[in-house]
Amino acid sequence: MKSYKEDFPLLRNSSIAYLDNAATAQRPEAVLKAEREFYEKYNANPLRGLYQLGMDATDCYEKARETVRDFLHAKKSSEIIFTRNTTESINLVAYSYALNNLKEGDELLVGIDSHHSNLLPWQMAARVTGAKLVFLDCEMDGSYTKEAIEKVITGRTKFAAITHVSNVIGRVNPVEDIIRLVHKNGGVVLVDAAQSAPHLPIDVCAMDVDFLAFSGHKLMAPMGIGVLYGKEKLLDEMPPFLTGGEMIESVTRESAVFAELPHKFEAGTVNGAGAWALKAAIEYINSLGFATLQERELALTTQAMEELKKIPYVNIIGSQDPKEHNGIVNFTVEGVHPHDIASILDGAGVDVRAGHHCAQPLLKHLGVFVTTRASIAFYNDEEDIHRFTEAVKGIRRMMGYAE
């Protein structure tokens, strides 16, 4: 298997098996170079300066927007809003769309596999508008059945917030089916693509999704740059989320005329370097191709799951088929707390995540309290996975069990 670690300064200079990629990815040289390049060559406040350097900074920022548009296959770059992260993108929709469009008697549908970032904003929207929060429950393997989907989506479903790929289970949800049915009933859908954007090609037009959110940092871009895609018609009708500089046409003592899309939703100084480096991250992914990424991730996930399945007392959460994991392998070891597992693995040079993964309602639904998650990226290698599974093999004995 070809090693991509050479492209990643942190991995190339370290012996760590980094398996917490779903929390945040590592950054390739190309991304670090782009971030530095922005500050070294183009640094001025984007969208403001009328001098050449200011225009160069604006140019970087708008070129990045166009790259994201192409990445998502959106029709217009004005439908791409830069935010800080998925959480901010979802809050933007909750405050600007949901608060202005939902009312008592409406239902707001949320998938039970939602990250807290795709649940708390909807709890707020339901509380403020009087709409009812309704859950789409998954099976124990994490799947949403056709029956469950058809039962819960009705003429009262005015909004649905669905996760494309859960950060706990890793399976791709049938978002197209859900979108079709919600639309048929006159509702609007947001898809949380935080965990899908790094692993699968996304086509917002083919999906016919109304809003879609993802974070740059899970896609190898810097922290602090995120994206919200929204259909132009919906975004046009929504009031701004945050107000202040850069999002206005004109201001009087009493009022303001807001800027056109997308600037209406980008108040204050924007993250020019982050956007420029996000462009580099997308170009890096494009240069490899999703097929390559998926092939490597599947091979490594298969290796990890096959080895884990051989270990007594280890239970893998969700589907037992590596094809349905997108690199996310969540597991429990009977009798051992995930915090102990993570710290034993840390001692073996393996970085994993332990806890509730910001998805407490899902874990409760699945009947587990806390778990350990290894999340694999294409730049991991067989040696990382081997070190991980060998370390898991020794955990029960280390904790004083006979086997």
Distances from the Cα of 168 to the Cαs of 30, 194, 272, 319, 324, in angstroms?
Answer: 29, 12, 32, 11, 12
Could you say whether residue 21 binds ligand PMP (CB under 6 A)? no
CB of 373 to ligand PMP, least distance (A): 10
CB 280 within 8 A of CB 34: yes
Rg (CA), the chain: 22
| 337-376 positions binding ligand PMP, by CB under 6 A | 358
CB of 136 to ligand PMP, least distance (A): 15
Q: Which of 85, 96, 129, 330 binds ligand PMP (CB under 6 A)?
A: 85
Of 194 and 270, CB closest to ligand PMP: 194
Q: Tell me which of 60, 138, 205, 358 is the catalytic residue.
A: 358
Of 115 and 279, CB closest to ligand PMP: 115
Could you say whether residue 117 binds ligand PMP (CB under 6 A)? yes
Of 20 and 106, CB closest to ligand PMP: 20
Closest CA to 123 of 363, 360, 381: 360
CB of 117 to ligand PMP, least distance (A): 4
Of 42 and 211, CB closest to ligand PMP: 211
CB of 196 to ligand PMP, least distance (A): 8
In the structure, how many helices (H) and strands (E) does the chain have? 16, 15
Of 67 and 163, CB closest to ligand PMP: 163
Could you say whether residue 389 binds ligand PMP (CB under 6 A)? no
Could you say whether residue 194 binds ligand PMP (CB under 6 A)? yes
Q: Report residue 316 as tokens.
A: 């893998």
Helix (H) or strand (E) holding 190: strand 188-192
| 206-225 positions binding ligand PMP, by CB under 6 A | 215
Could you say whether residue 326 binds ligand PMP (CB under 6 A)? no
Could you say whether residue 20 binds ligand PMP (CB under 6 A)? no
Of 92 and 259, CB closest to ligand PMP: 92
Residue identified by tokens 């990250």 is 115
Could you say whether residue 163 binds ligand PMP (CB under 6 A)? yes
Within 13 Å, how many C-alpha atoms sit on residue 390's CB side? Answer: 11
Q: Which of 58, 118, 129, 389 binds ligand PMP (CB under 6 A)?
A: 118
In this structure, the number of other CB atoms found within 10 A of the CB of residue 390 comes to 12
b/e per residue 13-46 (b: at least 16 CB within 10 A): eeebbbbbbbbebbbbeebbebbebbeeebbbeb
Calpha distance 141→291 (Å, rounded):
25
Could you say whether residue 173 binds ligand PMP (CB under 6 A)? no
CB of 115 to ligand PMP, least distance (A): 3
Q: Is 205 a catalytic residue?
A: no
Q: Which of 5, 27, 69, 115 binds ligand PMP (CB under 6 A)?
A: 115
Of 222 and 322, CB closest to ligand PMP: 222
Q: Report residue 242 as tokens.
A: 């945050």
CB of 1 to ligand PMP, least distance (A): 26
Please name the amino acid found at residue 349.
Answer: G
CB of 375 to ligand PMP, least distance (A): 9
Of 21 and 389, CB closest to ligand PMP: 21
φ, ψ for residue 48 (rounded to 5)? -120, -60
Residue identified by tokens 């909750």 is 94
Number of residues that bind ligand PMP (CB under 6 A): 13
In this structure, the number of other CB atoms found within 10 A of the CB of residue 398 comes to 13
CB 126 within 8 A of CB 132: yes
Distances from the Cα of 4 to the Cαs of 92, 213, 356, in angstroms?
Answer: 36, 27, 30
| 284-323 positions binding ligand PMP, by CB under 6 A | none
DSSP assignment of 191-231, as one string? Answer: EE-TTTTTTS---HHHHT-SEEEEEGGGGTSPTT-EEEEE-
Could you say whether residue 330 binds ligand PMP (CB under 6 A)? no
Sign of the CA dihedral running 233, 236, 242, 245: positive
Which residues would be at the binding site for ligand PMP (CB under 6 A)?
A: 85-87, 115, 117-118, 163, 167, 192, 194-195, 215, 358
Positions marked active-site: 358
